[in-house]
Homo-oligomer: A and B are copies of this chain.
Amino acid sequence: MRFGILGTGTVGQTLGSKLLTLGHEVTLGSRSANSQAGTAWAQASGPRARAGSFAEAAEFGELVVNATPGTVAPAALAAAGAERLNGKVLLDVSNPLVFAPDGSVTLDPVNTDSIGELIQRTYPRARVVKALNTLAAPVMVTPARVPGRHQLFVAGDDQPAKQQVTELLVSFGWPAEDILDLGGIQSARGMEMLMPFWLNLMRHYGHTDFNYGLQVAG
């Protein structure tokens, strides 16, 4: 299958490389068609890997992944173009983190909105699924880095799109029973609002190889 990934950072590259190992074709998209990060990744990753502009990646992908920072996502998706997203599953893994000079980290949008909702509103014909924004990139593609049972969450208004993303995550190595459907895209709000807590946990543990393992009565 052909994937277009918007974003050439750690998340985009990590997801792209995983998809290649699963036999897919991947184009990583960036603001410029020949970004250093994207080009270097593609050259190191073999013939099924390409780099290009946001528009080229979106055009290429049967499924499009937003792996840009949430604060950049609106501009990246505008560059990708609505006509290249229409009807496609758009997997949004972003968090709209704002880093202040004093070291504090906040979210924008937050509380009354989320980047997942904003994207779905802006591109009503894209089939937006929020997922994978609640854990570090290495754990996304190698769940066994973290011991025991731990969970992923999906949210979105399009049930078949969520099912398709769930199957993709299962192909990454996630047990289907550990992928929780939290409902419509509005639940992206709660998922994105986990980030400040996650950052506190990262500071507490001193690394990012952890995840939420929900314990539930009977």
Contacts and interface: CB of A to CB of B under 8 A. Distances in A.
Interface of A: 104, 106-107, 110-112, 145-150, 155, 180-183, 186-187, 189-191, 193-201, 203-205, 207, 209-218
A64 B211 CA distance: 33
SS class, residues of chain A in contact with chain B? mixed
B200 A190 contact: yes
Question: How many subunits of this chain does the assembly comprise?
Answer: 2
Given A110-B110, A190-B196, A196-B189, A211 B215 contact: yes
Given A196-B189, A200-B183, A204-B181, A217 B107 contact: no
A131 to B, nearest CB: 14
A189 B195 CA distance: 11
Contacts of A194: 193-194, 197
